[in-house]
C-alpha cells in the first residue's frame, strides 16, 4: 500500500495520483501564472483526488471546489483581496470547476463571525494550512519556477493514502470537523474517521 512507502516514494506517488486530475493540473498551472505571494492549491481537491484514485473512482468525483490560498499582509483590505479574486475568475473562467481564492493574511478578520471562535493572525500560508480541522487536510501543492512541484504536508501523507481522517484540534471547532467528516463519509464510505478528542479537566 502506498501509505506504507517511504516518504520520498509517497511524494512520487502523490504527484502521479494528482496528475490524473486534469482540472487540478490546470488550476495549478493557471494559478502559477497569477504569481500570488506564497500560494498553494490546498485542501479537498488534493486529498479527495487521492481518495478517488485509491478507491477506483473518477479523479474529480465529489470535489466541490478547488481552494487557492495566498498570503499578502501588505494590504488587508477586502478590496485588495477582491481584486485578486476577480483576476482569478478571468483566469479560471472556462474550467468546469469552482476555484476559490483567499488571502490567508485576512482570515482573522472574519473567522470568529463565521465559526464562533477567534483566530490569531496567520503568519504564512503554511501556518493557515496547519490549522485545518483535520490533519488529513493539511496539504498544499504549488508549481515553482521550472515546473517543480512544492509539496507542503506537515503531517505526512500516510493517512491520506490510507483513507484515515484524523482530527486537528488547533483552531476549528469540533462541529466543523464532524460536519465535514459526515459529508465525506457519504461520498467515500471507505474512510476511517477518528473521533474528536475528549479532554477531561
Report the run of H or E that residue 176 belongs to, with start and end. Answer: helix 174-187
* Mean pLDDT, the chain, integer: 93
Does residue 56 belong to any structural domain of this protein?
A: yes
Does residue 200 belong to any structural domain of this protein?
A: no
Give the 3-state secondary structure of residue 4: helix
- Cβ within 8 Å of residue 118, ≥6 positions away: 108, 111, 112
Q: What is the pLDDT of residue 195?
A: 96
146: left (phi over 0), alpha (psi -120 to 50) or beta: left
Does residue 198 belong to any structural domain of this protein?
A: no
Question: Closest by alpha carbon to 165, among 143, 144, 182, 149?
Answer: 182
State the residue range of the domain holding 13: 2-193
Provide the 8-state DSSP code for 130. Answer: T
Give the model confidence (pLDDT) of 69-84 as tens digits: 999 999 999 999 999 9
Does residue 133 belong to any structural domain of this protein?
A: yes
Percent of the chain with pLDDT over 70: 97
- Domain count along the chain: 1
pTM (predicted TM-score): 0.92
C-alpha cell read off for 146: 521550472
Amino acid at each position: 500500500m502506498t501509505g506504507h512507502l517511504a516518504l520520498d516514494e509517497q511524494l512520487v506517488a502523490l504527484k502521479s495520483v494528482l496528475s490524473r486530475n486534469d482540472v487540478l493540473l490546470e488550476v495549478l498551472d493557471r494559478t502559477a501564472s497569477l504569481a500570488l505571494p506564497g500560494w498553494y492549491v490546498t485542501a479537498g481537491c488534493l486529498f479527495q483526488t487521492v481518495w478517488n484514485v485509491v478507491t477506483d473512482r473518477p479523479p474529480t468525483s465529489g470535489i466541490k471546489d478547488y481552494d487557492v490560498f495566498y498570503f499578502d499582509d501588505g494590504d488587508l483590505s477586502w478590496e485588495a483581496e477582491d481584486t485578486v479574486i476577480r483576476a482569478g475568475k478571468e483566469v479560471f473562467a472556462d474550467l468546469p470547476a469552482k476555484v476559490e481564492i483567499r488571502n490567508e493574511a485576512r482570515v482573522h478578520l472574519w473567522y470568529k463571525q463565521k465559526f464562533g471562535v477567534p483566530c490569531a493572525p496567520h503568519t504564512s500560508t503554511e501556518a493557515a494550512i496547519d490549522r485545518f480541522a483535520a490533519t488529513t487536510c493539511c496539504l498544499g501543492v504549488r508549481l515553482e519556477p521550472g515546473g517543480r512541484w512544492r509539496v507542503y504536508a506537515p503531517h505526512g501523507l500516510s493517512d491520506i493514502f490510507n483513507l484515515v481522517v484524523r482530527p486537528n484540534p488547533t483552531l476549528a471547532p469540533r462541529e466543523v470537523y464532524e460536519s465535514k467528516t459526515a459529508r465525506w463519509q457519504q461520498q467515500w464510505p471507505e474512510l476511517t474517521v477518528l473521533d474528536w478528542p475528549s479532554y477531561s479537566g
